[in-house]
Amino acid sequence: MFDPILEKQLIKKPRGALLDLGGEDKIDFDFKFQLFMTTRLSNPKFSPELAAKTTIIDFTVTQGGLEQQLLSRVLSKEQKSLEE
């Protein structure tokens, strides 16, 4: 159900775009639209397809763990050899 939204399967029109939700349901799409989803699950399982289409933020990590994750991300972008 979320695939058309996550993949931005839009139908262009002169003054904007329509989002096709399947069937005959088409709604106006605002390019400023952002979708935030939350869960109470402590360790949710996400499919690889969903993980590839979204940004997943784990708010249960400690500050030290978050620093390590962010450092790893920066190093992977800036200096891959140093990260390895």
Strand, coil or helix: what is 73? Answer: helix
From the CB of residue 29, how many other CB atoms can be counted at a distance below 10 Å? Answer: 20
Tell me the whole-structure pTM to 2 decimals: 0.52
pLDDT tens digits, residue range 6-55?
A: 888 888 888 889 888 877 778 888 889 888 888 888 778 888 888 888 88
HSE value, Cβ hemisphere, 13 Å, CA-based, for 47: 4
Residue 59: per-residue pLDDT: 76
pLDDT of amino acid 33: 86
